[in-house]
Structure 1
Amino acid sequence: MILLADSGATKTDWRVIDIDRELEQITTLGFNPMYQESEEIYQVLHESLLPNLLNKAPSEIHYYGAGCSTPDRNKRVADALSRLFPEASIYIEHDLLAAARAACGQEAGIACIAGTGSNTCLYDGTDVIDNIPSLGFLLGDEGSGAYMGKLLIRAYLYRELPDELAKSLKNRFNLTKDIVLNEVYSAQVPSRYMATFAKFMHEKRKNPVIHAMIYESFALLFERHISKYDGYPTLPVNFVGSVAYHFSDELKQVAKKYGAKIGKIISSPSEGLIQYHQDLLKQKA
């Protein structure tokens, strides 16, 4: 029995699987070892994961999580899981590898996350072998919901939006300059706030001004990240994330311009990760 985890700052999606079935699905609070210590992670899992497993003891745990990008951070998660499951083999990986394995399986390709934030990598069918850094909300995140929201709100505050769009945006969100600046410069996760405007942009995506912003965001993702990997454009480019999924038409338009071959576009890595690990179990059997 294998326990899979796809974890973000808000929630963690846990799946219990064997070679041909999904036995259990559990959702707990999320956490990020960049900000949380092992003891806090252990307490969350002891209270919300362990009781729901109903005495199931996994032989392997594959945890894919935001913030799991250094040995020290990974150890925080591993130590918490080891206290709960001392007999299990534990593997801690970054969420970018989860996206790659979910979208590409055991085939080489370029894998991209496009949700609240964005990230990309070159994947060899097993591991990430190259990664042009995302640089996060302040310096990067091209192609993400946060980046699109930033384009929209900047245009709104600079009075560059057509009147109809500006009025609609103001009425929906009761926007003022002070509210926006407080959320961006004082809130703990400004990218999450900016990404909330992606839904508005999706509703208005046929508007030429909004379409241009969406197109610009994806074009920069290709220019600054995807097009720089060895093997582009012969390798398939695969996407995981709600923004890629809901703006797939616009994404495909940009990909065509850049001569890219789109592979999969999926909203969540969970199902792909289940298939990846079940395939590995079958190969070992």
Structure 2
Amino acid sequence: MILIADSGSTKTDWRVINANQEYEQVNTTGINPQYLETEKIYAIFETELLPQLKEKNISTIYYYGAGCSSPERNKRVEDALRRAFPGSVIFVDHDLLAAARAICGHQPGIACILGTGSNSCLYDGKNIVDNVPSLGFLMGDEGSGAYLGKLLIKAYLYRELPDELATSLKNKYSLTKDGILDTVYGSDIPSQYLATFAKFVYEKRKNPVIKEMIYENFEEFFERHVSKYEGFGELPVNFVGSIAFHFADTLKLVAKKYGAHIGTIISSPSEGLIKYHQELLNMQDAQA
């Protein structure tokens, strides 16, 4: 059996699969080695993952995760996995590769992640060949749930929201200025906190002020990321992530402004990854 992890900052989807087209799904808290050290990552495995995988003989683990963008960060995850699964072969890579494999398959295209965070790449059908860097929560994450939450909370604190919206937001989340700032600047994963406000944005998406905020969020992403790739007007631009999926109508409007062609928009790359790795497993079995 192999174990596939599709991990974001908010949640991690795990799939146990075999060559017989069967799989089992479990879920845990999100993991991002940009913010979490090995011990904290292992604690999630120990308390949330391992109890759900009793008596499962895991031979190989493919872990695709947000924040897995350098050897040092990848090692944090790998060390935690080796401690949790000492007998397994382990591969740790960026969630961007998972996105490309899931939504582009074997065809060239631009693969984009719009979830809690954001990222993008140019994919040639086999490998990632270009990547406008994702600068993370403090300097980037345009298009993401965290960025959308940041736009909303800034507008709230700067008194730029209509009274009705501001009151609704304050009452729904019991907001105070000190509480917001303490959480944003004191949390291990501030992006996860800000991304929770995307639900409010979705509920109020027909409000003109909120509608403009959603548009601005995606416009920033196309301007700073998608438009920088060679051939972006000819290649399909594919998206994975809850923000892309739930705000697809606005995303398509922004793409049209930039002359881009949207291909696939899906909420999660899991099904595409399952297909990819089952095919890989079948090939390995055939060669054995």
- Normalized against structure 1, the TM-score is what? 0.88
User: How far off its partner does 1:37 sit?
Assistant: 5.0
User: How far off its partner does 1:60 sit?
Assistant: 2.8
User: Quick check: 49-58 or 65-74, which moved more?
Assistant: 49-58
Mapping for residues 134-145 of structure 1, pairs under 5 Å: 134-145=134-145
8 Å contact from structure 2 (residues 245, 265) kept in 1: yes
Mapping for residues 171-250 of structure 1, pairs under 5 Å: 171-250=171-250
Mapping for residues 1-285 of structure 1, pairs under 5 Å: 1-38=1-38, 41-42=41-42, 44-45=44-45, 48-50=48-50, 52-82=52-82, 85=85, 88-282=88-282, 285=286
RMSD of Structure 2 on Structure 1 (CA): 2.4
Change (3 A) 1:81 1:177: closer
Change (3 A) 1:74 1:153: closer
8 Å contact from structure 1 (residues 57, 85) kept in 2: no
Change (3 A) 1:160 1:105: same
Letter in 1 for 2:25: Q
8 Å contact from structure 2 (residues 36, 188) kept in 1: no
Change (3 A) 1:109 1:54: same
User: Quick check: 76-85 or 17-26, which moved more?
Assistant: 76-85
User: How far off its partner does 1:145 sit?
Assistant: 1.3
Identity of aligned residues (%): 68
User: Separation in 2 of the partners of 1:198 and 1:79?
Assistant: 33
Letter in 2 for 1:134: S
User: How far off its partner does 1:45 sit?
Assistant: 3.7
Question: Number of aligned pairs?
Answer: 285
Question: For 2:126, what is the secondary structure of its paired residue?
Answer: coil
Letter in 2 for 1:126: K
User: Quick check: 234-243 or 87-96, which moved more?
Assistant: 87-96
Question: For 2:14, what is the secondary structure of its paired residue?
Answer: strand
Q: 1:182-227 CA deviation, whole Å, 9 max, x = no partner?
A: 2223333222222222111111111111111100110110010011
**What runs of 5+ residues in structure 1 fail to find an aligned partner?**
none
User: Quick check: 108-117 or 29-38, which moved more?
Assistant: 29-38
User: How far off its partner does 1:114 sit?
Assistant: 0.8
Change (3 A) 1:43 1:153: closer
User: How far off its partner does 1:53 sit?
Assistant: 3.7
User: Quick check: 197-206 or 14-23, which moved more?
Assistant: 14-23
8 Å contact from structure 2 (residues 35, 189) kept in 1: no
Question: For 2:232, what is the secondary structure of its paired residue?
Answer: coil
User: How far off its partner does 1:264 sit?
Assistant: 1.3
Letter in 1 for 2:95: D
- Normalized against structure 2, the TM-score is what? 0.87
**What runs of 5+ residues in structure 2 fail to find an aligned partner?**
none
Change (3 A) 1:26 1:160: closer
User: How far off its partner does 1:29 sit?
Assistant: 4.4
Change (3 A) 1:123 1:83: same
